[in-house]
Structures are given as C-alpha cells and as structure tokens.
Amino acid sequence: MFAHHLRTAWTSVRRSPVLSILIVAAIAVGIGVSITGLTIYHMLARDPIPQKSDQLFRVQLDSWDPDSPFFEGGDEPSGPPFWLTYQDAMALLESDIPKAHAANYRSAAVLESDNPSVAPDVYGIRATTRGFFSMFEVPFRYGAAWDAAADQDGAPVVVIGEKINDELFGGEDSTGRTVRLGDDEFRVAGVLEHWSPHPRFYDLNMTTFGDPEQLFVPMRAATDREWAINGNTSCWKPESLVTFRDFLGSECVWVLFWAELPDSASREAYMTYLNGYVDQQKAAGRFPRPMDNRLRSVEEWLEHRQVVSDDSRVVVALAFLFLIVCLLNAVGLMLAKFAGTAPSAAIRRALGASRGDIVRQYLTEVGAIGIAGGLAGLALAATGLWSLRQGFEDLANVARLDLSMGFTAIGLAFLAALAAGLYPAWRVGRAVPVRFLKSQ
C-alpha cells in the first residue's frame, strides 16, 4: 500500500512540477537556515569528553582579596577565582584522593629542530603534570607520558603532537630523540595521536575552539625556565614582586587545576580535603575570604564560563521563526497544489477509497516532499556553514555539520512538511466527490 502511495505521489508531483519544486524550495530554505543556526549552537554546547565529563572537575579555591570579590567579565562577582595560586596548586598535587589530577598553564617558546628545512618558530606550550594525559584520555601514538620523577625534578622531556612529529620527524617514532625549546634540549617522551576536543574545555582562556597545543612539558620544567604565562594572571595583594620566585610564592592566581573524581564518595572526600587545606591556610594567615571552594564538572564549567554565547541562542530563536514562515509559505503552496488534484481524489473516492486513504496518500506525498526539502536544506546549510568557515577563521571548528545534525535536518524537514501538509490533506480528504465528478 505504501509503495502504491509513493507511486501515486510521484505521479502527482510530476503533474504539478513547479508547485512541487516551490514547496521543496520553501522547506529547503527554512531547513538550511535553521540548521545553520542550530549547528553553531550544537557545536558550542557540545560535550567535549562525553565518556567522563561528569567525573572531571575544575578546582576553585577562594584565595581572593578580602575587600572585593573576584570579577571576570560582566558586572556580577564571579565567585572564587578561575585559577589557583602556584603554591596552592602544588600543595593540592600532594593529595592522593583523585584518580588523577593536573596543574597546568599555557606558555610559549621557540622550537628549533635539527631538520634544516624547518625554520625556528614560536609554539604554544602546555606546561602540566602527567595526570593530564590519563585524565583527559589523550591518545598516544608512540611512547607515553613522562614519569612521576619528571614532574618532581622538572626534567627536560616533552610530549609532542602528531602535527609537529610529522613536520620534524616525518611521522616516525621519535621517542628518545630531542628538540630544542627555548635553547634547551628536550627529550621526546611521547607522540600523540590526533587529539582535538571542542570546545577546548581544559583551558577556555584563549580561543575556546582553537586546537590544543602541540607541545607538552612538565610544569616544573617550564617554571624553572621562567617561561611566560600566556593565559590570565590576576593579582590582588600588595606584595613585592621582583623575581619569578617572588611571583611563584605570591597570591597571584594563574594555574589551571583539574581533578578526576569518579564517584560521589571521592568527590565528598576531596571536598573535605579542600576545606581542610583552606582551614589550615587560614590558620597560617592566608585565604582571608569566607570559605568558598568549588568542584565544577566539565559541563558546569562550560556553563559557568558561558561558552555558548547569547548571540548563538538569539540566532537559533530567529532561525526557527524563519522556518515557521517558510512552512506557512509551504502550506499556501500545498493548498494550491492539492486544489488542482481534487478532481482525481474525487474519482478515487468514488471508486471506493476512504477519506483516510486519501489523507494518507497526500501525507505520503507531503512526507516525500519534506525529505527532499530536508536533503536540499542540508546542502544549503553545508553551503552556509562553509561560507562562515571561509569568512571567520575562529569558526573553523564550530561551523561544521556532523552526523547528528544531518539526521536532525532530515527529521525536522519531514515533520515540518507533515505539519504543513496536514490541513491541505485534510481539506482534500473532506471534499465531496460528487461536486468534482459532476463538472467532469
């Protein structure tokens, strides 16, 4: 029966090709625009590490100024600072409650290689501790993370990304070989597979949708060399800062800290530990503000840092109103189209088809038109997103269709077409056969 409906639908489409194409076009434009807007929102709101986003926590301690709360953008206080002081981060690394944890910051250095065809260039560097790799499930192609001793003594070892490994070593297993970073030899401990979480949840400071660094070194190796902090540094306390040592011992916050806490028991234990640590520091005269320690999961952190911009939500809202206008247009076109086919429906009714048959027949046609509109709309959305990628470098990782958006587009188009076709189909089904038969 369905095959018959489809065949009849095709005949009907062929009978009024212009109107059919216009309906497909109306749906396609609506889907194209709304899927473009929705895709950007979807990519911004995406969970970058779904398998464990509820087990990874950003650690915040309120070590800030007693006289004024911490502000970061906007006119409302932001709660505890986003970053930790160096001394607190180092102290928290002593805890064995988390399954893994990592302090880190972004720096930069000039990379030189023995390969003469590669000119020295500046690279972003993630200075961190070895827990970073296991916690964030960073995949290795060769070698592994550095050992615990390197975290302690700041040994000059480096984990490099696949891109740099391709450039410098032609993609070979380069573990054990060396690269020059800031005029020092660093031994390659491991080479990563492609790894690019979007949004780059572990550090939202620079471009949120940028690619991760291609170089990872022990935090101690970076601070020993006094490598600059290419992230946010915020200080509140009047204290004499002359040397880098002074800075490391200061109340300035700049270190990012993440902990992996797989279950609620470990979360509670860790929170108790944090509160105990702050109490101890309060006794030593630090942490002048009321106790306010936070563990924010990946999702909560992205929400707190407002990764999904208001603008992207506004665009989605307006894009969907646009889709409604397209559908109203489609309803009008369908009425015109079905008005033309009323006589043939009347003949079918007279030959024994029920109203339900007629309505089902038309809905089949409308559904098929919807799917065609969805496919065309998907092509339009792909074009729209492509033009956004061309125009905006920062959107290269955002304005991209994925499979789920593809299905959404087709499904949405199908449902939208059915919704638009319901009334026209019902009207044709309701038509009295006799009226049409008489005038034939």
Partner 1 sequence: MELGSILKGMSRNWVGPLLVALQVAITMAVMVNALFVIQERREVMARPTGVDEANLGRTGIFAYADDFDWTGEIRADLEALNNHPGVHAAGTVNSLPGTGSGWSSTWLVEENKPETSVQSAMYLVDEHGLETLGLELVEGRWFREDEIIDVDPTGFEGFFSGIVLTESLANKMFPDGALGRMVYTESEDQAPVVGVVRQLAVPWPSYLEWEDSSLVPGRLSGPAIFYAVRAEPGRLEQVLPEVEELLTGRASGRTVLPPETHREMVAEEFTDERATVRILFVIMVLLVLLTGLGIVGLASFNVRRRTRQIGTRRALGATRGDILRYFLAENAVLTAMGLGIGVVLTYALNYFLADQFNVARLPGSWLLIGMLALLALGQLAVLGPARTATRIPPAVATRTV
Chain residues that interact with partner 1, rule: CB under 8 A: 26, 29, 33, 36-37, 40, 67, 73-75, 108-110, 112, 119-122, 182-183, 226, 228-229, 233, 238-244, 246-247, 252, 309-315, 317-319, 321-322, 324-326, 328-329, 331-333, 335-336, 384, 388, 391-395, 423
Residues 216 and 158: beta-carbon distance below 8 Å? yes
Q: Is 386 helix (H, G, I), strand (E, B) or coil?
A: helix
* Closest CB to partner 1 among residues 134, 234: 234
CB of 219 to partner 1, least distance (A): 15
Instruction: Output 109 or 295, the one with its CB closest to partner 1.
Output: 109
Structure tokens at 330: 């489609």
- The two beta strands, 184-192 and 253-260, are unpaired
Output DSSP code: residue 294: E
Q: How far is the CB of 129 from partner 1 (least distance, A)?
A: 20
Work out how close the CB of 243 gets to partner 1 at its nearest, in angstroms, rounded to a whole number. Answer: 6
In the bound state with partner 1, the residue whose beta carbon lies nearer, of 114 and 394, is: 394
- C-beta closer to partner 1: residue 386 or 423: 423
SS3 percent helix, strand, coil of the chain, rounded to 5, is 50, 15, 35
CB of 225 vs partner 1, minimal distance in Å: 10
Q: Any idea of the CA torsion for 355, 356, 360, 366, to the nearest 10 degrees?
A: 50
305 and 73 Cβ atoms separated by less than 8 Å: no
Residue 111, SS3 per DSSP: strand
8 Å CB contact between 63 and 287:
yes
Minimum CB distance to partner 1, residue 267 (Å): 31
- State the residue for tokens 């902990």: 259
Which is nearer to partner 1, 87 or 266 (by Cβ)?
Answer: 87
Angle of helix 17-44 versus helix 355-391 axis, rounded to 10: 50
* Least gap, CB of 368 to partner 1 (angstroms): 22
Strand partners, 159: 190, 216
**Cβ atoms of residues 366 and 427 within 8 Å:** no
Is 181 exposed, middle or buried, given 0-12, 13-18 or 19+ CB atoms closer than 10 A? buried
**Which is closer to partner 1, CB of 41 or CB of 216?**
41
Q: Residue 238 Cβ, how far from partner 1 at the closest point, in Å?
A: 4
Nearest to 192 by CA among 161, 168, 170, 215: 161
Residue 186 near residue 158, CB atoms below 8 Å: yes
Q: How far is the CB of 265 from partner 1 (least distance, A)?
A: 38
Nearer to partner 1, 175 or 208 (CB): 208
Strands 100-112 and 178-181, how do they pair? antiparallel
Closest CB to partner 1 among residues 94, 310: 310
Select 285 or 391, whichever has its Cβ closest to partner 1: 391
Beta bridge partners, 100, equal 260
- State how far the Cα of 125 lies from the Cα of 219, in Å rounded to an integer: 10
Q: What residue type is assigned to position 426 of the chain?
A: W
CB of 122 to partner 1, least distance (A): 5
